[in-house]
Structure 1
Amino acid sequence: MRLDVVITGVGGQGNVLASRIIARAAMEFGLPVKTSEAIGMAQREGVVMSQVRMGFGQYGALIPDGGGDVLLGFELAETVRGLPKVKRGGVVLANTENIFPVSVSLGLSEYNPVKLALYLKENTENLHFIDATALAVQAGTGKATNIVMLGALSSLNVLPFEDYLLKEVMLDLIPPRLHQVNLKAFELGQQAMGGA
């Protein structure tokens, strides 16, 4: 069993925590795991890409272009940017949130959410949109966008382990005072994909 997961977004969205939750859940399930993270120049709103490779027969921590089984896109433009990492027929779960880069504010580039969504629709076979940030706010904090995405992922039947393992690891990695809001966020993500 092998599964390669790419997580892409911008700084501050909880990308790294999400990758650590997936990786540790896979390890607790008994799979070997390798991870990699590329963090942009800015701590907040810089590009962040994490890669989680689980299973037997993995040779390195970096997923080759066209090799990813799953792409979790925490931000729409970053989902488009990460698309080359996913194999044909791979699962793409895209948060519809838009975070406009500084270059857009300065008038140096364009950010068109409609064109980005259309590009994803035209270039993926297994695409799922979710307004994860709105669901996170509904759960109690926009900072739980990553957990909404993990809940949604757990309902797509691509992970080799059950959702309870993701939840257990999540609860172990976050402070107890944040457990309830994150459990709610996880459940809302599942429900958005027709699960739990």
Structure 2
Amino acid sequence: SQRGGSVVTYVKYGDEVNSPIIEKGEADYILSFEQLEAARWLPFLKKDGKMIVNTQQMDPMPVVMGKAQYPAGVLDAIRKAGADVTDVDALSLAVQAGSSKAVNVVLMGVLAAKTDIAYDVWMNAVKQTVPPKFLELNLKAFELGYKYE
């Protein structure tokens, strides 16, 4: 994908997973790096599902080209549609951790605090998958997300 472009990743876990695809109305959680992307994927959230949304706004091409304006009140509209939304300035927290590229790990930390998966499981996953030279940064980003209120 292209930086700034849309990327979708599905994660399913449980005793029995028959397909990696999540259908509309089935997602327990949706993590979104950008508000319009959150709105776009809202139909996939189940009724009692939760969204974790980075407050950053990334202008889509029509806005960049001056042919449209970024819509106001995106998060409010998502909430009015019935979604349980946690909005977080993940970009600022990532920068605080040491790099704007750690937004994903900040969002993962916010998610971890909301699930019943043990904290140590998340920490071990970070330690096992992140290269040593980026580990301290990513652990800090995870912690900032995990402690986010």
1:187 aligns with 2:143: yes
What SS does the corresponding residue of 2:57 show, helix, strand or coil? coil
1:121 aligns with 2:79: yes
Q: Distance in 1 between matches of 2:16 and 2:133?
A: 39
What SS does the corresponding residue of 2:94 show, helix, strand or coil? helix
Q: In the alignment, which residue of structure 1 is the partner of 2:24?
A: 65
- TM norm structure 2: 0.93
What SS does the corresponding residue of 1:183 show, helix, strand or coil? helix
Does the CA contact (< 8 Å) of 1:63 and 1:85 recur in 2? yes
After the TM superposition, which segments of 4 or more aligned residues of structure 1 sit over 6 Å from their partners? none
Q: Distance in 1 between matches of 2:30 and 2:136?
A: 27
What SS does the corresponding residue of 1:54 show, helix, strand or coil? coil
Q: Distance in 2 between matches of 1:101 and 1:153?
A: 26
Which of the residues 24, 27, 49 maps onto 1:90?
Answer: 49
Q: Distance in 2 between matches of 1:56 and 1:172?
A: 23
1:143 aligns with 2:137: no
Q: CA deviation at 1:108?
A: 2.3
Identity of aligned residues (%): 32
Q: CA deviation at 1:110?
A: 2.4
Structure with greater strand share of residues: 1
Name the count of aligned residue pairs: 149
Unaligned runs of at least 5 residues, structure 2: none
Deviations 1:40-85 (A, max 9, x none): xx52111111111111233211111011111111111111111111
- TM norm structure 1: 0.72
Deviations 1:91-134 (A, max 9, x none): 1111101111222111223212x321111121134211111111
Q: In the alignment, which residue of structure 2 is the partner of 1:166?
A: 122
One-letter amino acid matched to 1:55: G
